[in-house]
Structure 1
Amino acid sequence: MPMPSARRDRWLALALLLAVLGLAYLLLVHPWFTQPLREIDADVAALREREQRVQAQLQQQPQIEQRLRATREALQQRPGFLREATAEAAAAALGAKLQDAVAMASPGNRSCTISNRTPLTDNRRDAEFVRVAMQVRLRCGVAELATVLHSLETGSPRLFVDNLNLIAQRFQQSPNESGLGLDVSFELAGYLLPGAAADGAAPAPAAEPGAAPQPPSAAPAPSPAVPEEGQEVADEA
């Protein structure tokens, strides 16, 4: 029976060929061609999804710009920063606001008066906002002090009261004072708008071309030394 044996050998050879082709595909084709193509397809799908998210965000740009304009207008109506261009002008404005708050709390300065106010230097390095502050000392009654602090901290622009110290006093330093109340010291501070100090600083004027340099001032001649008492003076020859 040679025919069945030959047919079986052909089927066996075909099966072995298919097995060899499958093994070659798994070892050579799949890791070098199919797998990289699948990774590329996954990257393309991720990029398409990201593009859809970006497009959705770009479509929201008009609404975001409108909300940003509304927020800026609201901040301009209630400014939190000092509006002055320089720290010196802002310090003067702080003093004026303090004086107005004290005058409102105690007309005539009978129950509250300003003893001292001294501008403080901002020594912070790499600060994002310029801090304008002054050291304040008041002599106030309790109710007047509460009114002054409330007026300073709830007004516009936004001011801050730091390092508050209270000492009770029992003496009268001026005829207008009642002699009762508190000796108060604190720091009153505010912040300039970002870039306001840089914009307000004027550049130094340049020297005119062709101007003659100023000659150095002559140093005064040294005065002759006066002999001390008891010192011997040589006789003239």
Structure 2
Amino acid sequence: MSRADRDRWLALALLLAVLGLLYALIVHPLFTVPLRQADARIAELQERDARLRGLLQQREEVARRVAELDARGDAGGFLAEPTAELATAALIQKLERVVDEASPGSRGCAIVNRAPQADAGTDKRYRKVTVQVRLRCGNAETLAVLHLLESARPYLFVERLGISARRHFAIPGNNLPQEGGLDVSFDLSGYLRPAAGGAHAG
């Protein structure tokens, strides 16, 4: 190969190297990367659009199911009582039934205190009804009570749960101290069914 041919190949190699460097420094960051990001965003939006279209196609079925639940009186798991006062009384009765079911005869668990709490929420549509609860229970009874409350229908919520261990604890009505156990406090809450127009009773 002549010297002129070698110079031409060397010049071509240098040109390709310069073009590659220009692509890496200018074209790729300024054009290729933004285009790939735009393609990924478009694909994401298309996927989201497909999901929303699928949900819209189910709108009539969801509306029908909600109407069925409403006709049965348990739509959305709201408390059945029309006022906060009645709902509070129902919550206390539910708590008493659950404790009695978890510990028949109050042998291993008893209610120490249950006090209605005023609704301090700002939501005008969904009104929360809360009872502050304190129990003295054995370990197994505590788990049973909490499970029964949170798996109940209508939906009930155990919030601000506090548990402290006791070496000995006394059950109200039972003069014999129990070995071990827990002092349990929590807020038991539920929600009134929204009234038409956003107003609520009680």
Tell me the equivalent position of 2:91.
Answer: 94
Structure of greater relative contact order (alpha carbons < 8 Å, 6+ residues apart): 2
Distance 1:175 1:81, change over 3 A: same
Tell me the equivalent position of 1:73.
Answer: 68
Note the C-alpha offset of 1:68: 1.5
SS at match of 2:178: coil
Residue 172 of structure 2 is aligned to residue 175 of structure 1: no
1:55-82 CA distance string (max 9 Å, x none): xxxxx99x95465123331464754100
Task: Name the amino acid aligned to 2:78.
Answer: F
Tell me the equivalent position of 1:187.
Answer: 187
Task: Name the amino acid aligned to 1:111.
Answer: G
Distance 1:169 1:98, change over 3 A: same
Counterparts of 1:17-32 in structure 2, within 5 Å, are none
Unmatched tracts of structure 2, length 5 or more: 1-55
Q: How many angstroms apart in 2 are the aligned matches of 1:176 and 1:69?
A: 56
Tell me the equivalent position of 2:21.
Answer: none
Task: Name the amino acid aligned to 2:188.
Answer: L
1:189-222 CA distance string (max 9 Å, x none): 0000002895644xxxxxxxxxxxxxxxxxxxxx
Q: How many angstroms apart in 2 are the aligned matches of 1:92 and 1:70?
A: 30
The structure whose Rg is larger is 1
SS at match of 1:156: coil
Note the C-alpha offset of 1:127: 3.8
Task: Name the amino acid aligned to 1:123.
Answer: A
Q: Is the 8 A contact 1:158 1:190 kept in 2?
A: yes
Q: How many angstroms apart in 2 are the aligned matches of 1:124 and 1:78?
A: 23
Residue 169 of structure 2 is aligned to residue 158 of structure 1: no
Q: How many angstroms apart in 1 are the aligned matches of 2:164 and 2:131?
A: 19
SS at match of 2:81: coil
Counterparts of 1:39-188 in structure 2, within 5 Å, are 65=60, 67-74=62-69, 76=72, 78-79=74-75, 80-173=77-170, 174-175=174-175, 178-188=178-188
Q: How many angstroms apart in 2 are the aligned matches of 1:125 and 1:66?
A: 32
TM-score, structure 1 as length reference: 0.53
Distance 1:127 1:121, change over 3 A: same
Indicate the RMSD between aligned Cα atoms, in angstroms. Answer: 2.7
1:72-93 CA distance string (max 9 Å, x none): 3146475410010100100000
Q: Is the 8 A contact 1:81 1:190 kept in 2?
A: yes
Q: How many angstroms apart in 2 are the aligned matches of 1:187 and 1:167?
A: 16
TM-score, structure 2 as length reference: 0.62
Q: How many residues align?
A: 142
Note the C-alpha offset of 1:118: 0.5
Unmatched tracts of structure 1, length 5 or more: 1-59, 202-237
Identity %: 47
Q: How many angstroms apart in 2 are the aligned matches of 1:87 and 1:176?
A: 38
Distance 1:128 1:177, change over 3 A: farther
Q: Is the 8 A contact 1:168 1:182 kept in 2?
A: yes
